Structure 1
Amino acid sequence: MNAIQPSRPPSQPIQKRRAVPRPKRHLRQRSYQVMALESTAKIAVNLAVTAIAASALAQLLPYHWLQQEKLREISTEVKLMEGHVNGLQAKFGRNFDPQQTKTIMQEQGYRFDPSQRRVVLMNQDRQEDEQTESSP
């Protein structure tokens, strides 16, 4: 493997083929036609893609607007429900507070602590009307 290998005989020089001269005008004209055809095809494809994208966008925009409107309505309802839930949570906490038991019983049962005095508010205008009607 490490032995010296015999040298190769010099290879024969590659002979260059002579190209047959072609008319240059014809090649240039043909390449311009190919480039023009390729550019026209690219433009046509781009116009078709643009038309399809515009059509899809025109169909999707109303749907997007409708979804945004629904989202706004739902957000409004969520805010209202959050307020309602917060009120119920506060009421729930108050109902189960041992210190509030007497107060809640008085509100719901119309029972009062014997040490409290009952205050009844009366409309003075109504009392005057009743007195004037009963006087004659």
Structure 2
Amino acid sequence: MRAYKNLQEFLEVLEKEGELLRIGVEVSPELEITEITDRVCKLNGPALFFEKVKGHKIPVVTNLFGSFKRICLAFGVKEIEELSRSLIEFMEIKKVESFFDKLKIIPKLWQAKDFFPKIVDKAPCQEIIR
């Protein structure tokens, strides 16, 4: 399974795959974003990147996980069943007694290290870009 460095990296992958639609016109955060997203979701459309949100400096992204393809891209798997199998295998880790059984679960535990958030001093979301 893949871990992205940040949201920007994931958005770049979605854009390369044709799974991200950028909306450059100004939209209302109260009604327009929800209505547009609702219609696109019902049509199994792409993730939406609203670049200009009325009254806000920060863009909004919706429908990131609105298709099996985008879920697979997010987790770095080829098909959704692969993700299901990985999660089931991880949840089935039981208390092990023998030394050799403990060695067998090391790869699964190594994968789990990417599940948890990482605390950093400086994050890309804190950059001021002018």
TM-score, normalization by structure 2:
0.20
Q: Max radius of gyration: which structure?
A: 1
Give the number of the structure whose residues are more often strand, by fraction.
Answer: 2
Using CA pairs under 8 Å that are at least 6 residues apart, name the structure with larger relative contact order, 1 or 2. Answer: 2
